[in-house]
Structure 1
Amino acid sequence: MSLSRLFRTPEAAAGLVILGLLVAMAVAAPWLFPRDPLAIAGQPLLPPFQDWALPLGTDRLGRDVVAGLFHGARTSLAVGLAAAAASILVGSIVGTVAGFAGGLVDEVLMRITDAFQTVPGFLLSLALVSVVGPSLSVVVAAIALSAWTGPTRIARAEVLSIRERDYVASARVIGMHPVEIAFREVLPNALPPVLALSSVIVAAAILTEAALSFLGLGDPNRVTWGGMIAEGRAVLRSAPYLSVIPGIALVLSVLGVYLAGEGVVEGTAAREGQA
């Protein structure tokens, strides 16, 4: 897909620009701020623009806010992409098996999916992290556990439609194994609508990770935007920038991911329409 198609609307262009900045921050963080972002960098509660070595000031412990923003972008992007990849992988497999097998297998798998959907995603993530313990891998697994049901339902619906097509019947006639037919012939054609959910899952994962960190359930060894917002609560009246700056970064990142995803979907739909 060409960039001109992705930039066909102002919303998509803005989303891609924001997403590009987020990726640039995440990639550049180790080079621009090689020190531990949790280390003390100056006097505590230094306001923004008072010291150009610390342009956005410091928090209550004297940690650099800019370094926290850049390293927090790495955490948010890593969690969002990993959770989206895991949930789409699990959802695609479960949806393909349910839709292609049908019968009792389909019924059992979809009832399990229904059971997970009855529990609010954030509460499920909160419960798992509380029981297992806060770490980046546990946070990713918890978010994926609450997000796989959407891709499952979409994959199943697509597979139910595709499995009756002529090329699938031809594959059965020549003796291909049902598992090979399902994952080699059917699943690749069912994936595009599932992948369209990626931006929504990434955005939701970034928000969920921030919420868990805000509650003190994020990885304690990593800087997170939710943790920075929580850190600023105690001095919200005297130093509101400690919560406002990472809050703005969080909102812009989620908005950028969502708008960029919408741009990709619209560009794909336009290309298919012209075809």
Structure 2
Amino acid sequence: MTLLRRLLQTPEGVIGLAILAVLLAAGLLAPVLSPGDPLRIAGRAMLTPFTDTGLPLGTDRLGRDVLAGLLYGARTSLAVGIAAAFSAMVLGLFVGMAAGFAGGVIDEALMRVVDASQIVPGFLLALAFVSIIGVSVPVIVFAIALGAWADPARLTRAQVLSIRERDYVAAARVIGMHPAEIAFKEILPNALPPVLALSATIVAGAILTEAALSFLGLGNPNLATWGSMIAEGRSVLRSAAYLSVLPGLALAITVLGVHLFSEGLTKALDSGGGPR
């Protein structure tokens, strides 16, 4: 049974995958559903939702289309979240594999680096990094990944320490297989599934961090983001709550979808059995 089939047999996996599929489709189809610049003036300012068929979710204080902002915000959030999670996973896998497989002084030194990286909370590290280096999508992605790689590194190391003592790894050593070949052909494929399940959590954290940075004015001002939309609606929260509520709901639904997908993926991996 494939991983996808096992995932679709879990209620969490089905719901989470459906939410993420809708969000991904919204982000990809944003230029089709709402052509043009999402930050352009589209109509009268503070137009309430469902009063104009051309602007179904109304406009903000500057007359920008709220629906366009939500669609393009989905693209920004998912792109930053996935890119940051991928970067953190690659770095974490590399460090965890090196520490767990090499052992000894290398393991001790790398784990002290991991400990040091976890002293500062990830959001504060990203906040300081973006404030110093400057605001751009690559910088935001790197800043978020810089605060998220330690957990994958620790989990990878734990998996490698367990797997490297198994019989099939010992057999590979006996037949003279190169250590790098053992690491990448015998150990990594079996250590990877639990770490992949962790990646969904990193995506959710990255999306929230990007939204928080945008809320504080440290996001890319040339991109529509949910965090900046929430910040834009703060000053008119009583008279036009929808300006903050709608992007807030979009953010909450996205994080919920990622969480459910992570739960379903974990169950699917568990039902598929452990390492060979």
The TM-score, its normalising length taken from structure 2, stands at: 0.94
2:19 is the counterpart of 1:18: yes
Q: Which residue of 2 aligns with 1:88?
A: 89
**1:197 maps to what in 2?**
198
1:160 aligns with 2:148: no
- Find the counterpart in structure 2 of residue 65 from structure 1: 66
Deviation for aligned residue 1:9: 4.1
Query: Retained in 1: the 8 A contact 2:12–2:264?
Result: yes
Residue pairs, 1:143-222, within 5 angstroms: 143-222=144-223
CA distance in 1, matches of 2:33, 2:178: 53
1:97·1:182 contact (CA, 8 Å) conserved in 2?
no
Residues 1:2 and 1:112: Cα distance change in structure 2 (over 3 Å): closer
Residues 2 and 196 of structure 1, relative CA distance in 2, 3 Å threshold: closer
Q: What SS is found at the alignment partner of 1:41?
A: coil
Letter in 2 for 1:241: Y
SS of residue in 1 equivalent to 2:36: coil
Task: Please report how far the alpha carbon of residue 199 of structure 1 lies from its aligned counterpart in structure 2 after TM superposition.
Answer: 1.1
Q: Kindly tell me: are residues 49 and 35 of structure 1, through their superposed partners in 2, closer, same or farther at Cα, counting changes over 3 Å?
A: same
Distance 1:3 1:17 in 2: 13
Contact 1:11 1:263 in 2 (8 A): yes
Alignment match, 1:75: 76
Please say if residues 15 and 260 of structure 1, whose CA atoms lie closer than 8 Å, have aligned partners that are also in contact.
yes
* Structure-1 separation of matches of 2:143 and 2:48: 36
Q: Provide the rounded CA distance (Å) in 2 between the counterparts of 1:229 and 1:143.
A: 20
Q: Give, in angstroms, the shift of residue 31 of structure 1.
A: 1.4
Residue type of the partner of 1:198? S
Secondary structure of the residue aligned to 1:91 is helix
Q: Is the 8 A contact 2:78 2:207 kept in 1?
A: yes
Establish whether residue 272 from structure 1 lines up as the match of residue 273 from structure 2. yes
1-structure distance, mates of 2:195, 2:246? 34
Cα 1:87–1:132 change in 2 (3 A) is same
2:16 maps to a residue whose letter is G
Q: 1:109 to 1:2 in 2, by over 3 A?
A: closer
SS in 2 for 1:147: coil
Q: Is the 8 A contact 2:226 2:251 kept in 1?
A: yes
Q: State the SS of the aligned residue for 2:77.
A: helix
* Counterpart check, 1:239 vs 2:244: no
- Structure 2 unaligned spans of 5+: none
1:136-193 Cα offsets, whole Å, 9 max, x none, are 1111111111110010011001111111223323333343332332223221221111
Closer/same/farther in 2, CA of residues 154 and 243 from structure 1, 3 Å limit: same
Matched, 1:126 2:131: no
Distance 1:159 1:252 in 2: 35
